[in-house]
Amino acid sequence: MIVISGYVDLQSAEELTRLSDDGKTMVEATRLEEGCIEYGFAIDMVNPCRMRIYETWADQAALDAHMASPHMAEFNKAIAGAKLAGANVLAYPASEPKKLI
């Protein structure tokens, strides 16, 4: 299992709003992919210019297929045109999850 967690900071909340349709399309398409366990974007509760990213994949092959998907290419075009202030997205290998709540 692979967990992806991080954030993308945009220069304004308006810029994040502008990307929301592209983000919704990306999330909907990705959640249908084989090997996608969880996938989502969220606006940070404290920083309205920060988009949080959280993904869980069954294995590296599933993540690789996702990265090569047509909807990933489209979303990359949208992000490339965005006014970014910073980003930090990391992948973590994970073992079986332990439920906390």
What is the domain extent for residue 9? Answer: 2-93
pLDDT in tens, 29-83: 999 999 999 999 999 999 999 999 999 999 999 999 999 999 999 999 988 888 8
Q: Is residue 99 part of a domain?
A: no
CATH number for the domain spanning 60: value is 3.30.70.100
Q: What is the pLDDT of residue 80?
A: 86
Q: Is residue 28 part of a domain?
A: yes
Q: Is residue 98 part of a domain?
A: no
Rounded Cα–Cα distance for residues 29 and 66 (Å): 10
Q: Is residue 101 part of a domain?
A: no
Burial of 27 (0-12, 13-18, 19+ CB in 10 A): middle
Give the count of domains, the chain.
1
Q: How confident is the model at residue 93 (pLDDT cuts 50, 70, 90)?
A: very high
Rounded Cα–Cα distance for residues 14 and 68 (Å): 29
Rounded Cα–Cα distance for residues 84 and 88 (Å): 12
pTM comes to 0.90
Report the pLDDT averaged over residues 73-97: 91
Q: Is residue 100 part of a domain?
A: no
